[in-house]
């Protein structure tokens, strides 16, 4: 039976795997599978389990729920996980050998973080942020029934909202639950937020990350510290670590390893995330183990079939504590690496054109569960066996195999081209019925971030446009991760210069290809990719049409409207009330009079990262200038991440509007 072209509706057929966790004895992997219920226009997530020895893969939890964050008990007999049921989240536990899951916590409405078992398996540690009583489902429903208005929000913090979450009305604290009784106890309190909690090996203490400076919102990430507190609460003690971001803590004997940066500046400055270790007793300074590795840690690859900026997963200690394992982003890929405590000669344990998204290990740290995505294969679970500093991979799941047999996919071709003297990486995706004697229209994509990367991961949107007859070209210009730190940091306070030159070098390279019609080229991108689309059409008439999605237009107004408030003389020099020159010079809105390219503007009313006022300014400017522009305004239940996790029907609508716009001008 011949294969068919991929469609926008195929989005509803995909099974998206996440968070594989290897059992302590290495015999089973538990993981999540996210699917779309097209009829009810919603996502469902369930736990699945795979047996390593028998190759059996089966669904483990069921129902109209969203299950996530599965974690094995130390003895491997139980699995704790979070469940959202009827819009309420609680922790649940299920026996490994089957049986009914039982609800463990009965907390008030709020958000619960990933649970962590105590070393003796009697308690669970987690973060919890209570929903403000004024905005609980019960309160909102009661006001609707009594025809009362919603109350005002009283805001006193600078960082008071977060895209994809909403208003941050309460603080996130540490909690512990007794597994036998279900009794919960709050461990921390105060006007601080805590994250990344872990148990000490003896179960008597908890380490966590928190910004406890005089003004935590002033530099929310730069002033983060690692703290240690008794399991019974009390006054925490701070460990001696350099200023900068911190997270992904893991504790082994008397040392804590973590991901972090040594950065006293604005957190948006793209310094490499590195691996550090610090003595748990606080008697010696933290040491960086990856100073010689000029790459950032974690997975920074963007795709529409995985969450953005997942960072990969925590580092893993070897069983003897002499080595650590971690994910590194490298030229469009992400691979598992290792390094000894001397910090010398970090080495890659995997290689090839693929992305390791997350990992976990069993007790001996000789076997790993890895979630791996490839250009023509959605993320699947692999088992890696460590032998002679190499990880031998074996694929365990094939949940999308039947769908992959139906559709014709195009294998992206990796290319390198020059932007002046700088080598730039990119990928070409050809139409599925490609013939070199024909001339095709081309769609040039610019990724968001900007400090992220395109790479060797499955991207439904790219395949969709290629199947419709377009050559799709996506690249990693300067500002992208996966390269040297200088490659990313060189565009700081200089957007629209080096990065734009690289984008135009990509257009030149594409136009030189014999099968590309240079007169039928479009540019598109979201977030920073939308910014660069706006910048491009304000500085060149090269493209026949363009699509700007969830974009930045005015860096002046962005200072006070983004969910991460601007910093004075931080990533960008200046501010929004006195020193405006730098931000305005780098704002595409300044050059709106130059835009003659037909522009489709796509934005979400619920976007807090790049608020919709950005799109409004661009649209009104173009309409006043009598230019060709269409504004697609998605409702408030969408956010900055519409293309990855928005309402399924609106994700489908967005893809089809892209297609209609491109066809109008390029076909």
At 436-453, the pLDDT tens digits run 999 999 999 999 999 999
Tokens of 194: 């805590």
Could you give the 3-state DSSP secondary structure of residue 486? helix
pLDDT classification of 389: cutoffs 50, 70, 90:
confident
pLDDT classification of 387: cutoffs 50, 70, 90:
confident
Name residues whose C-beta falls within 8 Å of residue 189's C-beta, 6 or more positions apart in sequence: 171, 173
Q: Are 532 and 454 in contact (CB under 8 A)?
A: no
| Spatial separation of the C-alpha atoms in residues 612 and 291, rounded to whole Å | 40
Question: H-helix or E-strand containing 374?
Answer: strand 367-374
Q: Are 225 and 200 in contact (CB under 8 A)?
A: no
Residue 529: per-residue pLDDT: 98
| Spatial separation of the C-alpha atoms in residues 304 and 461, rounded to whole Å | 7
pLDDT classification of 267: cutoffs 50, 70, 90:
low
Over residues 420-427, mean pLDDT? 97
Q: Are 240 and 284 in contact (CB under 8 A)?
A: yes
Closest C-alpha to 371, from 80, 61, 34: 34
Which residues, listed in sequence order, are joined to residue 296 by a DSSP beta bridge?
none
Name residues whose C-beta falls within 8 Å of residue 114's C-beta, 6 or more positions apart in sequence: 69, 71, 82, 126
Residue 195: per-residue pLDDT: 97
**Per-residue b/e over 191-223, b at no fewer than 16 CB within 10 Å?**
ebbbbbbbbbeebebbbbbbbbbeebeebbbbb
Res 20 pLDDT > 70: yes
Strands 287-288 and 316-317: unpaired
pLDDT classification of 434: cutoffs 50, 70, 90:
very high
Q: What percentage of the chain exceeds 90 in pLDDT?
A: 92
Residue 218: per-residue pLDDT: 86
Residue 311: per-residue pLDDT: 55
Q: Are 240 and 286 in contact (CB under 8 A)?
A: yes
Closest C-alpha to 661, from 470, 488, 475, 509: 470
The residues annotated as belonging to the active site are 527, 640
Over residues 391-399, mean pLDDT? 96
| Spatial separation of the C-alpha atoms in residues 278 and 256, rounded to whole Å | 5
- Residue 331, phi-psi category: left (phi > 0), alpha (psi -120 to 50), beta (remainder): left
What are the pLDDT digits (tens) for 84-99?
A: 999 999 999 999 997 8
On the CB side of 351, how many CA atoms lie within 13 Å of its CA? 5
Start-end of H helices in 104-250? 137-145
Query: 4-363+384-402 is classed in which CATH architecture?
Result: 6 Propeller (2.120)
Q: Are 535 and 543 in contact (CB under 8 A)?
A: no
Cα–Cα distances (Å) from 524 to 295, 536, 548, in that order, read 27, 10, 6
On the CB side of 417, how many CA atoms lie within 13 Å of its CA? 25
Could you give the 3-state DSSP secondary structure of residue 340? strand
| Spatial separation of the C-alpha atoms in residues 189 and 167, rounded to whole Å | 19
Closest C-alpha to 113, from 175, 63, 57, 156: 175
Over residues 285-294, mean pLDDT? 97
Q: What percentage of the chain exceeds 70 in pLDDT?
A: 98
Res 566 pLDDT > 60: yes
Tokens of 619: 């649209």
| Spatial separation of the C-alpha atoms in residues 560 and 474, rounded to whole Å | 31
| Spatial separation of the C-alpha atoms in residues 316 and 36, rounded to whole Å | 33
What are the pLDDT digits (tens) for 110-123?
A: 999 999 999 999 99
What are residue 288's phi and psi, to 5 degrees? -90, 130
pLDDT higher at 120 or 308: 120
DSSP code of residue 453? B
Q: Are 176 and 229 in contact (CB under 8 A)?
A: no
Closest C-alpha to 521, from 443, 440, 436: 443
| Spatial separation of the C-alpha atoms in residues 326 and 328, rounded to whole Å | 7
Judged on CB neighbours under 10 Å (0-12, 13-18, 19+), 288 is middle
Judged on CB neighbours under 10 Å (0-12, 13-18, 19+), 328 is buried
What dotted CATH number matches 410-666? 3.40.50.1820
| Spatial separation of the C-alpha atoms in residues 438 and 214, rounded to whole Å | 64
Residues of the chain with CATH 2.120.10.30: 4-363+384-402
What are the pLDDT digits (tens) for 181-214?
A: 999 999 999 999 999 999 999 999 999 999 999 9
Find the range with the poorest average confidence among 131-135, 216-220, 280-284, 608-612.
Answer: 216-220
| Spatial separation of the C-alpha atoms in residues 646 and 654, rounded to whole Å | 10
| Spatial separation of the C-alpha atoms in residues 274 and 245, rounded to whole Å | 10
Which position has the token pair 């219920």?
37
pLDDT classification of 310: cutoffs 50, 70, 90:
low
What are the pLDDT digits (tens) for 451-484?
A: 999 999 999 999 999 999 999 999 999 999 999 9
| Spatial separation of the C-alpha atoms in residues 53 and 549, rounded to whole Å | 46
pLDDT classification of 132: cutoffs 50, 70, 90:
very high
Q: Are 617 and 646 in contact (CB under 8 A)?
A: no
Residue 437: per-residue pLDDT: 92
Residues of the chain with CATH 3.40.50.1820: 410-666
What are the pLDDT digits (tens) for 213-233?
A: 999 988 888 889 999 999 999
Strand residues in 231-272 grouped as ranges (E): 237-238, 246-252, 255-260
pLDDT classification of 567: cutoffs 50, 70, 90:
confident
- pTM score: 0.97
Mean pLDDT value across the chain: 95
Q: Are 104 and 55 in contact (CB under 8 A)?
A: no
Peptide bond before 450: cis, by omega within 30 degrees of 0? yes
Residue 365: per-residue pLDDT: 86
DSSP for 58-95? EE---SS-EEEEEEE-TTSSEEEEEEEETTEEEEEEEE
Tokens of 74: 């130390």
- Number of helices (H), then strands (E), in the chain: 11, 41
């Amino acid at each position: 039976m011949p294969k068919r072209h991929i469609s926008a509706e195929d989005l509803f057929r995909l099974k998206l795997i996440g968070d594989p966790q290897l059992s302590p004895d290495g015999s089973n992997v538990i993981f999540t599978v996210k699917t779309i219920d097209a009829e009810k226009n919603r996502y469902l997530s369930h736990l699945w389990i795979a047996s390593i020895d028998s190759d059996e893969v089966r669904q483990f939890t069921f129902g109209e729920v969203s299950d996530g964050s599965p974690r094995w008990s130390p003895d491997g007999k139980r699995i704790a996980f979070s469940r959202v049921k009827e819009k309420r989240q609680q922790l649940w536990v299920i026996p490994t050998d089957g049986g009914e899951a039982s609800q463990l916590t009965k907390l008030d409405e709020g958000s619960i973080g990933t649970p962590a078992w105590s070393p003796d398996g009697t308690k669970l540690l987690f973060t919890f942020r209570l929903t403000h009583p004024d905005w609980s489902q019960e309160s909102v429903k009661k006001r609707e029934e009594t025809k009362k208005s919603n109350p005002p929000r009283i805001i006193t913090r600078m960082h008071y909202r977060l895209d994809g979450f909403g208003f941050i009305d309460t603080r996130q604290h540490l909690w512990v639950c007794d597994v036998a009784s279900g009794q919960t106890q709050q461990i921390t309190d105060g006007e601080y937020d805590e994250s990344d909690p872990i148990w000490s090996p003896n179960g008597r203490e908890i380490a966590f990350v928190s910004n406890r400076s005089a003004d935590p919102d002033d530099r929310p990430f730069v002033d983060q510290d690692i703290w240690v507190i008794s399991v019974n609460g009390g006054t925490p003690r701070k460990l001696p670590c350099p200023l900068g971001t911190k997270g992904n803590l893991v504790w082994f004997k008397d040392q804590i390893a973590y991901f972090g940066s040594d950065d006293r500046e604005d957190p948006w400055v793209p310094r490499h995330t590195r691996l550090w270790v610090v003595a748990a007793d606080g008697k010696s300074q933290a040491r960086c183990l990856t100073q010689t590795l000029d790459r950032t840690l974690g997975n920074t690859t963007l795709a529409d079939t995985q969450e953005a900026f997942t960072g990969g997963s925590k580092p893993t200690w070897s069983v003897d504590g002499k080595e650590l394992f971690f994910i590194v982003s490298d030229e469009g890929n992400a691979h598992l690496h290792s390094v000894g405590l001397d910090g010398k000669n970090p080495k890659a344990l995997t290689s090839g054109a693929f992305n390791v998204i997350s990992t976990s290990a069993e007790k001996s740290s000789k076997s790993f569960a890895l979630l791996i995505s490839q250009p023509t294969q959605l993320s699947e679970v692999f088992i890696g066996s460590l032998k002679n500093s190499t990880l031998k991979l074996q694929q365990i799941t094939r949940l999308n195999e039947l769908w992959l047999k139906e559709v014709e996919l195009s294998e992206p071709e990796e290319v390198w081209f020059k932007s002046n003297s700088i080598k730039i990486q990119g990928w070409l995706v050809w139409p599925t019925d490609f013939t070199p004697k024909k001339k095709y229209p081309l769609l040039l994509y610019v990724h968001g971030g900007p400090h992220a990367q395109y790479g060797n991961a499955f991207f439904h949107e790219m395949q969709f446009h290629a199947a419709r007859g377009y050559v799709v070209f996506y690249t990693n210009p300067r500002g992208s991760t996966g390269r040297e730190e200088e490659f990313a940091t060189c565009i700081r306070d200089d957007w629209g210069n080096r990065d734009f030159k690289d984008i135009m070098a990509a257009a030149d390279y594409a136009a030189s290809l014999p099968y590309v019609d240079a007169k039928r080229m479009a540019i598109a991108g979201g977030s920073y990719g939308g910014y660069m689309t706006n910048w491009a059409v304000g500085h060149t008439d090269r493209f026949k049409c363009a699509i700007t999605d969830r974009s930045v237009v005015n860096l002046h107004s962005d200072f006070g409207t983004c969910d991460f408030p601007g910093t004075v003389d931080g990533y960008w020099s200046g501010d929004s009330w006195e020193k405006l020159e730098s931000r305005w010079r780098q704002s595409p809105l300044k050059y709106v009079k130059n835009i003659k390219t037909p522009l489709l503007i796509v934005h979400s009313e619920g976007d807090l990262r790049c608020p919709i006022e950005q799109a409004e300014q661009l649209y009104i400017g173009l309409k006043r200038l009598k230019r060709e522009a269409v504004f697609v305004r998605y409702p408030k239940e969408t956010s900055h991440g519409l293309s990855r996790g928005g309402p399924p029907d609106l994700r489908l609508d967005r893809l089809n509007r892209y297609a209609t716009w491109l066809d109008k001008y390029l076909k």
